[in-house]
Amino acid sequence: MKKTIDLEWGSFMNGDIVTKEKRRPLIPSLISGTFMISKATVVLAAVPGADSTGLARLMFELLGVADYIAWGGFIFAGASWMFNNRTVAIERGIGVTAGYLIIRKAWDFVIFLKGV
């Protein structure tokens, strides 16, 4: 397991740097990874395509997979928050949100470029 180094807040405010080591729990990553893998395999067969073209069908399948990956990322960020690792949870939450919005807008970019 990876170890993180935290500072004692009271000592830090007094000008002393006293480190304490915390072990990061492995359970949240195992649980979210298991959920993402199981959901992603189901989504590939369940997401219908919008029309018969190959690109549209591929994009809708990838968007369905991205939905479940984002879902798993939010669960993992919530579990990180729950285990008192708030800074990492906020970073992961923002990263998942930004990545998800970029992926969801990718199809709009394809439609726009087709019309040009």
User: How far is residue 102's CA from residue 109's CA, in Å, rounded to a whole number?
Assistant: 10
C-beta atoms surrounding 92 within 10 Å: 19
Q: What pLDDT was estimated at residue 49?
A: 47
| pLDDT confidence of residue 33 | 66
Q: What is the pTM of this model?
A: 0.48
The answer to whether 43 touches 64, Cβ cutoff 8 Å, is: yes
Residue 95: the pLDDT is 93
Q: Please list the pLDDT of the chain residue by residue as tens digits (116 residues).
A: 456 666 667 766 777 766 665 666 666 666 666 666 666 555 554 445 445 567 777 777 888 888 889 999 999 999 999 988 889 899 999 999 999 988 888 777 877 888 88
Q: Where are the domains of the chain?
A: 25-115
